[in-house]
Amino acid sequence: MIANNFYLKKNNFKSLSNILMLVGLSITIIFIFLAFTAPILQNIGLIKDPLESLKNPIHQAPNIQHFFGTSGQGYDVFSRTIFGSQAALKVVLLATSFSLIIGVPLGLISGYFGGKIDKCLLFLMDTIYTLPGLLLSVTLAFVVGRGVINAALALSISYIPQYYRVVRNHTTSVKTELYIEAAKAMGASPTRILSKYLFFNVIQSVPVLFTLNAADAILILGGLGFLGLGLPEDVPEWGYDLKLALDALPTGIWWTALFPGLAMTTMVTGLSLLGEGLSEMLNPINR
C-alpha cells in the first residue's frame, strides 16, 4: 500500500514536472519566434519601426494604432517590446555560449589531470564565483563599453565557473571508471580520452545549466540596460526602456514600464521552468 502511494505520488510529480517543462518550452519558443520574425513583421507592416519616433513625441495610452501605447520619446512600445526579445536572445545566447565554450574544456582538463593545474584553475574559478554576478557584469561593462558583444562578454565571465565546477566534479568521478582505465591501457591519448570518452559522459547536466544561466542573464542584461551600461541606445532593449519609463511612472504613465517588464519576467519564467523540467527529466533518480 505504501509502495503504491509512493508510486502514485512519484507519477503525479513527474506529470507536473512535464507540464511545467512544456509550459516553459512553449514560452521560450514564442519569444524565439518573435525574435526571428520581428524584422519580417515590420517589413509587412504588422509592427512599427522601434526606432521611429512620432513627429510630436507624447505619451499615448494603448490604442488601436499603438497596442501598447507610446513612450515619452514617441516610440511605439509594442514594437520595442517585440524587438527587445531579439536583443535579449542575441546577448543571452552569446553570453552562455562564451561561458560554455570556455568553462567546459577547463573543467575537463582540471578534473582529468588534477595536480597544480587543477589547484590553480580551482582557485581562479572560486575567486570569480564568489563575486556577485551583477556587480561583476557592471564592472566589466564599464571597462569594455556598450554593445552586443561587449555585453555578452561582461555577462559570460560570471557563468564560466559554474560550467567549470559542474564538469570538473563529474570528470573527477568518471575518470576512475574501468573503461577509462582500459582506454589508457590501449594507448589512447589524453586528448582522445577527454573528447571521446569523458566529454559525452559529463555533458548531461550542461543543458540544464545553460537554460538557467540564460534566465539569469536576461535579468542581469536588464539591470545593465537600466543603468545605461548594456546595449547602445539604437538597439531596443527592455532594461533601457524601463529606465526611460521610470520618470513617467509617478504621473500615471504605466504602460511604458509594464509591457517591457512583463516581457522580461515572462521570458525568464519560461527559461526557468524549462531548466527545472530538464533537471527533473535528466535526474536518474526520477527516471
Q: Choose between 102 and 58: higher pLDDT.
A: 102
Question: Average pLDDT, whole number, for the chain?
Answer: 87
What pLDDT is recorded for position 100? 92
Long-range contacts from 237-242, C-beta under 8 angstroms, 24+ separation: 237/84, 237/87, 237/88, 238/81, 238/84, 238/87, 238/88, 238/263, 238/264, 239/264, 241/71, 241/77, 241/80, 241/81, 241/84
Strand partners, 76: 70
- 287 burial (CB, 10 Å; 0-12 / 13-18 / 19+) is exposed
Share of the chain above pLDDT 90, in %: 53
Q: Which residue is it, cell 526571428?
A: 36
Residue ranges of domains in the chain: 2-286
**pLDDT for residue 9 is more than 60:** no
pLDDT band at residue 286 using 50, 70 and 90 as cut-offs? low
Strand partners, 111: none
**pLDDT for residue 3 is more than 50:** no
Least confident stretch, 64-68, 165-169, 247-251: 247-251
What pLDDT is recorded for position 133? 84
Which pTM was predicted?
Answer: 0.87
Report pLDDT digits (tens) over 105-163.
999 999 999 889 999 999 999 999 888 888 889 889 888 888 899 999 999 999 999 99
**pLDDT for residue 284 is more than 60:** no
Please compute the mean of the pLDDT values over residues 65-70 and round it to a whole number. 92
Share of the chain above pLDDT 70, in %: 93
For the chain, helix (H) and strand (E) counts, in that order, are: 12, 0
Task: Tell me which range, 46-60, 189-203, 222-236, is most confidently predicted by mean pLDDT.
Answer: 222-236
**Domain 2-286 CATH class label:** mainly alpha
